[in-house]
C-alpha cells in the first residue's frame, strides 16, 4: 500500500533522513520505533507531504507522491494524526471532527461521527465543549478520531502515547489495534516501543535518520538489542 524507498530529507543544509526504506502492506499495523530525534516525525511528515524530500521515492496505492500536495494525499487516502495532537482548542469537539471530514458533504459524515463516539464515548459527552478543555488523553482520542473522519485507507499516527498515563496508553493502543477490523492500515510512530510492538504486525527501528533493524513485532520484542535499548529489560 505504501512504499518508502531510499527517502532523504533535510532541514536547511542538514540532512536528517539518510535513505530510509520501509513498506506498509494493506491491512497491516507497522510501527517505527526509535529514540527522540531519530527522524520518525520527519518521516511521517514527508509521507503526508508537509515536509519536502530531497531524494528517493514515495508510492501510495501505486501512485507516486512526489510533487503531490498534502491535501491531495488526504483525498487519496492518507491521513495523519500529528505529534502533539494539534487539535483546534477553541473549537468544539464536534467542530474538530467535522473539520476532519472537510472532503465530504454527505450523510456518512454523521455516521462516521457516530462511529467515533462509539469508539470514544467521552467525546460524545463533550461534543459541544471546547476541545482545549479536554484532558491530554481525550485530546489524543480526538486527534485520532479527526484523522479517521477523512476515511483514510492508511492512517499515520505520530506518538499517540505521548504524555499519557499507562492506562490511557493501553486504551489508545487497543483502539489502534481495532482499526484493523475497520480495514484501516496503520503506520504508527512511537517512542514507547513496547506498547507499539505489542499491537503491531511488523516494526522498524530508526536511529539517526536510518533504519537499523526491521522484523516482525515478535522478532523485535524478542531481540536482545531491542530489549536492552528500547524496552528497558
Strands (E), 120-169: 154-158
Angle (CA) 90-184-212 rounded to 5° is 95
Can residue 83 be called a binding residue for ligand ATP (CB under 6 A)?
A: yes
Q: Which is nearer to ligand ATP, 147 or 206 (CB)?
A: 206
Grid cell digits, residue 73: 494525499
- Total residue count of the chain as it appears in this document: 233
Nearest to 108 by CA among 148, 140, 139: 148
In the complex, what is the shortest distance from the CB of residue 176 to ligand ATP, in angstroms, rounded to a whole number?
17
Classify the C-alpha dihedral 208-70-31-191 as positive or negative: positive
Q: Could you tell me the smallest distance in angstroms from the CB atom of residue 173 to ligand ATP?
A: 17
| Phi and psi torsions of 91, nearest 5° | -90, 160
CB of 38 to ligand ATP, least distance (A): 4
- Our finding on whether 42 is near ligand ATP (CB under 6 A) is yes
Q: Closer CB to ligand ATP, residue 84 or residue 133? A: 84
Q: What residues form DSSP beta bridges with 134?
A: none
- Residue 23 burial (C-beta neighbours within 10 Å; 0-12, 13-18, 19+): middle
Any contact of residue 176 with ligand ATP (CB under 6 A)? Answer: no
Q: For residues 191 and 214, which CB has a smaller minimum distance to ligand ATP in the complex?
A: 191
The site map against ligand ATP for 4-33 (x = CB under 6 A) is -------x----x-----------------
* Binder of ligand ATP out of 6, 27, 37, 111 (CB under 6 A): 37
Cβ 191 to ligand ATP, closest distance in Å?
5
Question: How many residues interact with ligand ATP (rule CB under 6 A)?
Answer: 12
Measured from the CB atom, the residue of 11 and 102 that comes closer to ligand ATP is 11
Q: Which helix (H) or strand (E) holds 139?
A: helix 136-148
Backbone angles phi, psi at 188, to 5 degrees: -115, 115
**Site residues, ligand ATP (CB under 6 A):** 11, 16, 34, 36-42, 83, 191
Amino acid at each position: 500500500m505504501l512504499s518508502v524507498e531510499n527517502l532523504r530529507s533535510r532541514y536547511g543544509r542538514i540532512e536528517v533522513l539518510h535513505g530510509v526504506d520501509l513498506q506498509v502492506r494493506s491491512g497491516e499495523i507497522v510501527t517505527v520505533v526509535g529514540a527522540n530525534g531519530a527522524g520518525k516525525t520527519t518521516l511521517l511528515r514527508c509521507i503526508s507531504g508537509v515536509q519536502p524530500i530531497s531524494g528517493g521515492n514515495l508510492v501510495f496505492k501505486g501512485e507516486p507522491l512526489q510533487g503531490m500536495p498534502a491535501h491531495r494525499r488526504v483525498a487519496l487516502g492518507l491521513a495523519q494524526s500529528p505529534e502533539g495532537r494539534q487539535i483546534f482548542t477553541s473549537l468544539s469537539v464536534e467542530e474538530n471532527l467535522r473539520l476532519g471530514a472537510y472532503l465530504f458533504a454527505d450523510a456518512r459524515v454523521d455516521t462516521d461521527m457516530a462511529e467515533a463516539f462509539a469508539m470514544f464515548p467521552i467525546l460524545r459527552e463533550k461534543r459541544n465543549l471546547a476541545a482545549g478543555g479536554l484532558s491530554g488523553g481525550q485530546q489524543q482520542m480526538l486527534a485520532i478520531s479527526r484523522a479517521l473522519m477523512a476515511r483514510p485507507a492508511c492512517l499515520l499516527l505520530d506518538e499517540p502515547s505521548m504524555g499519557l498515563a499507562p492506562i490511557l496508553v493501553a486504551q489508545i493502543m487497543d483502539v489502534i489495534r481495532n482499526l484493523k477490523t475497520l480495514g484501516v492500515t496503520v503506520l504508527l510512530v512511537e517512542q514507547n516501543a513496547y506498547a507499539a510492538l505489542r499491537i503491531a504486525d511488523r516494526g522498524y527501528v530508526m536511529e539517526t535518520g536510518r533504519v537499523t533493524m526491521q522484523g516482525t513485532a515478535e522478532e523485535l520484542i524478542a531481540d536482545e538489542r531491542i530489549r536492552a535499548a528500547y524496552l528497558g529489560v
